[in-house]
Amino acid sequence: MKKMLAAWVILALAGGGGLMCSSSRGNAVDFSPRISILPKSAKVFAGNSLQFHTTLIGELGPSNVRWSVVGPGSIDSNGLYRAVDVPTSAAIVANAGNGIADSASVSIVSPPLHNEPLVLSTCYSDGTVNVNSARNFALSGALSVGGRAAGIAVDSSSKRAVFAVESQIVAIDLRSMHWRVSAPLPGVRFSEIARLGWGYVAATDNNADAGHPGVRIYRMNPLGVPVLVSSVIAGETPEGIAASPDGRGFYVSNINGNSLMRFAIDATGRTTLLATAKTAARPFGVAVDPLRHVVFVADNDTSVVNGARARPGLERFDSRSLRRIGGMISTGSKSSLPLGVAVDPTTARLFVTNEGAGNVAVFALPQMRRVATLPTGLTPWLPTFDPLTHRLYLPNARADSVSVYNTRTLRSVVPDFATCSYPTSVAVFDAASPGGK
């Protein structure tokens, strides 16, 4: 298989959708048939849609779940609820026949207050974006755009979030929670997003072949619609991306090309390739330490690809020349599968998510001395560092949750809070910040 997602994505998605449990004759275990709606108690921003799902338990014959709504709004045959434009509430009903049904409540809510700091998480399963308060982590609301939602970035100055959904880029106005979407690009599957200078954003296309457009540069038009500005030739399967501190450059990892690239971008959106470096197998997450001029790359090398020769770990490169610094650094066992990287420059700490081990390896900089291991939920994905609060946000893809740590104390800030299904990326909106993450 030429295009490969990280190992746990392959395993997680291979099992399909809802949980199916049947009786076990050998152990005389029997489950009464029932159906359950997820989310059970939901909030959707007024005028938006929200995807509902069902979990089927017990021996149910083939059935077509029938969806209905009690109250304002409408719902289609796939469980996509469309909210009205004013705050109110409704009940969602799923009926599997033979008296087997369930209901869930949904509140239609106004956008958050303009000065409210927010945590936004994108979910790969159904294109849902959850919005939580960054003060108390309570759910403010959610919306679904369909497809597979991936990387997300926030520009606090324009109060806008931009995220990837398959072959399109979606921009959300955080003041109204209204969104606009770019034109689709045939054959493209966007993955990660980086915010650049001059209002540009860059998105990697992990469906791209070497020597073909693998990164797309977008900018918002006056109506807030993401418009394609330019295309960038990259390596095989571009995946990770990180911007330079001034937004005038960016770094891209090519997961099947085993390489790292450095690009510059100017005010017109024109890009220039400045340097290329060879990496170990399956480079995924990328992070930049602006104080020490180092780029960190997590190599997700798996036994699925390289068998007993697999060497997952962490690599370092000079951020200007891409000259390699030292050798491979282990983040745990061969089954740890490092995936994402984040840096807190002021505390001189580096954080690497191990999707296989379900933890975060913490290193002291520049010595690369391992100082801690932080537990997470199942399959931690791409970490996000918020410099204003010194918090590290970790989406746990297979746990449908986000973990939050203080990067100074390395203590958990709050118990893991729930998200939509299969979160892979998090962004933070700080109303007081002139920039964004």
| Closest C-alpha to 70, from 101, 35, 98 | 101
| Count of C-beta atoms within a 10 Å radius of residue 332 | 18
Q: Which pLDDT does position 151 carry in this prediction? A: 97
Q: Which pLDDT does position 97 carry in this prediction? A: 86
**Alpha carbons within 13 A on the beta-carbon side of 284:** 27
| Closest C-alpha to 382, from 402, 407, 353, 404 | 353
- In the chain the domains, ranked by start, together with CATH numbers, are 17-109 (2.60.40.60), 118-429 (2.130.10.10)
| pLDDT tens for the 437 residues of the chain, in order | 334 334 333 233 233 333 233 334 445 455 578 899 999 999 999 999 999 999 887 766 556 899 999 999 999 999 999 999 999 999 999 998 888 999 999 999 999 998 899 999 999 999 999 999 999 999 999 999 999 999 999 998 899 999 999 999 999 999 999 999 999 999 999 999 999 999 999 999 999 999 999 999 999 999 999 999 999 999 999 999 999 999 999 999 999 999 999 999 999 999 999 999 999 999 999 999 999 999 999 999 977 777 777 789 999 999 999 999 999 999 999 899 999 999 999 999 999 999 999 999 999 999 999 999 999 999 999 999 999 999 999 999 999 999 999 999 999 999 999 999 999 999 999 876 655 45
- Residue 424 to residues 21, 163, 207, 222, 313: CA-CA distances in angstroms? 27, 12, 18, 30, 20
Q: Map tokens 């330019």 to a residue.
A: 230
Residue 11, helix vs strand vs coil: helix
| Closest C-alpha to 244, from 191, 318, 154, 340 | 318
In angstroms, the CA 94 to CA 42 distance is 15
Q: Which pLDDT does position 24 carry in this prediction? A: 40
Q: Which pLDDT does position 433 carry in this prediction? A: 62
In angstroms, the CA 103 to CA 70 distance is 10
